[in-house]
Structure 1
Amino acid sequence: MGMGREPSANLPPAAAVAAVAPPSEIASEIVRCSNMLTPAELADSHERLEIKEDVLEECRNYGTVLAIKVPVSNNPSCDIYVQFEQPSAAAAAVVALRGRKFDGRVVGMELCTAAAFEAIIDGE
């Protein structure tokens, strides 16, 4: 396990991993995708819709997608949020897509909480 620490002998392996996993790597069905939009694309409703469709098409390879949100305000990083049906699908998407290029930009992917997703207002 990272940082030279061994899991406690009293904890099962999954619990040991969860105990030391960073908050961004907790089990969640929500994925935050960064570096996929430019500020100009974020401001353009047609561009946002096209990118949402691209993200939906790609993310369906990992499981059922329930929703995609692209907040227009309070989104300086131009993030896209994807809600999968299952946390395992979200985790698979993060592993497969993190570091790939989208329109020449390296994509960042991380899990985030359902509460954060629910607070987002989609910029349709």
Structure 2
Amino acid sequence: MELDASNGRNAAGDGPPIAFGGTTYPKGLGVHAPSDVAYHLGGRAVRFTSLVGIDDFSAKQSAVGATRAKVYGDDRLLLTTPTLTAATGPVRVDLDVRGVHVLRLVVEDANNRTSFDHTTWALARVTVS
């Protein structure tokens, strides 16, 4: 996982800036499928928002990347995106997470090919009340 960058190749910190369709985003999480990132919210958050999709870094290398993003709140599925590809662009996420103790951001391969499945949660934000 890369913080505030797209997931690069092999080394930590080697990811380029987060971008979708040429628009860059200063904050977010860059991952590669499969991934599962958990955050302890302690039941104090009210919303989770993000843009999630195959980022420009992966799209420039190949068009074969395809993933599906899921968000879980305390092991309850809150969201499953349609298949994400470079052509589809990112999906906007805006979820009520009131009472959730553990938020999980999951990215799965969607085409049985794990190549170029760099997926980014841009502007990922938890709002606490």
TM-score by length of 1: 0.29
The structure richer in strand per residue is 2
Structure with bigger gyration radius: 1
